[in-house]
Amino acid sequence: MSDGEGRAVLVHDSGLPGLAMGRGYIRDGGKALFFTVRPVDRSVAIRTASCTYLLAPRDRAGFIATLEGRRLQANAAEGAEPGPGLLETLGQPFAIILLALAALAEFALYGFIAWWYPALPSALPIHFTVAGLPDAWGPPASVLLLPKLGALALLADVAIAALPPLRRPMTTFVLLSTALLVQVFAWVAFLRLLPSSTTSDLPKPG
C-alpha cells in the first residue's frame, strides 16, 4: 500500500474542477484509476495486481487502518483449518448406521414389491380420503413410485450432507435420519395397499 507520494499523471480526466477522476498512471504503480478530490500527496493509493486506485477518504488514517484490518481478516480466513472431509463426515459410526439402514430398507422394499407384484390386482388405490377410503386408482406399476421416491430422498440427503458448509455431525444426523424416515413411510404406504389390493382368491406370493 502507498500513501500517494509517488508522481501521478492523470491522462483522461472528468473535466470537473476539483475532482480528479479518470485513468492515468502513477510512478512505481503502473496504470491507475483516480477517484480523488485532494492533492496526490494527501490521497491514498491502493495497489492491486492489475491497477492502482487513487482515493481520497475523509479520514485517511482510519481508512488505512480499516483496510489493513480487513486484509488481515481475509488472510486469516484463507489460512483457517478446513472443515471435515466428505469421508470423515459420512464415516462416523452414526452416519454409517443410518446410511446402512436406509439403503437396506430401500433394497428390501424393491424386493418385497417384486415378490408381491404378481399377486397385485389390475387397479391399486393410490389416494385415500380423510376417512381412509380409496378415491383414486392406478395400475400395479404405481407401487414402484414408492421405492423411487425413497431412493431419490436418500441420494438427495447424502448429496446435501456432502456440501462443505453442511459437513457437521448434527446436520448429517438430521439429513440421514430424514432419509431413513422416508424409507419407513414408503414401507407403511405399500403395506397399507396390500389388504385393500389383494383378495382371498388371488395366489399368494411364493
165 lies in some domain = yes
Of 78, 96, 114, the residue that ends a domain is 78
DSSP 18-44: T-EEEEEEETTTEEEEEEESS-GGGSE
Arithmetic mean of pLDDT, 169-193? 88
pLDDT band at residue 205, thresholds of 50, 70 and 90?
A: very low
2 lies in some domain = no
What was the pLDDT predicted at 160? Answer: 87
51 pLDDT above the threshold of 70: yes
Of 22-31, 37-46, 116-125, 175-184, give the range with the top mean pLDDT: 175-184
- Amino acid identity, position 118: P
Q: Please count the other Cβ atoms lying within 10 Å of the Cβ belonging to residue 165.
A: 7
* 26 & 68 share domain: yes
* 74 & 119 share domain: no
1 lies in some domain = no
pLDDT band at residue 104, thresholds of 50, 70 and 90?
A: very high
Which whole-number Å values give the CA distances from 35 to 12, 26, 45, 184, in the listed order?
A: 12, 13, 10, 64
What was the pLDDT predicted at 198? Answer: 47
* 95 & 65 share domain: no
425413497: which residue's cell?
150
Q: How many domains does the chain have?
A: 2
* 122 & 179 share domain: yes
63 pLDDT above the threshold of 90: no
* 130 & 43 share domain: no
Q: Rounded to an integer, what distance in angstroms lies between the CA atom of residue 159 and that of residue 176?
A: 10
26 lies in some domain = yes
185 pLDDT above the threshold of 80: yes
2 pLDDT above the threshold of 50: no
What rounded mean pLDDT belongs to the chain? Answer: 75
More confident residue, 144 or 132: 144
Q: What domain range is 66 assigned to? A: 8-78
206 lies in some domain = no
111 lies in some domain = yes
Of 50, 78, 106, the residue that ends a domain is 78
* 65 & 120 share domain: no
First to last CA, the chain: 81
Of 59, 78, 97, the residue that ends a domain is 78
More confident residue, 87 or 121: 121
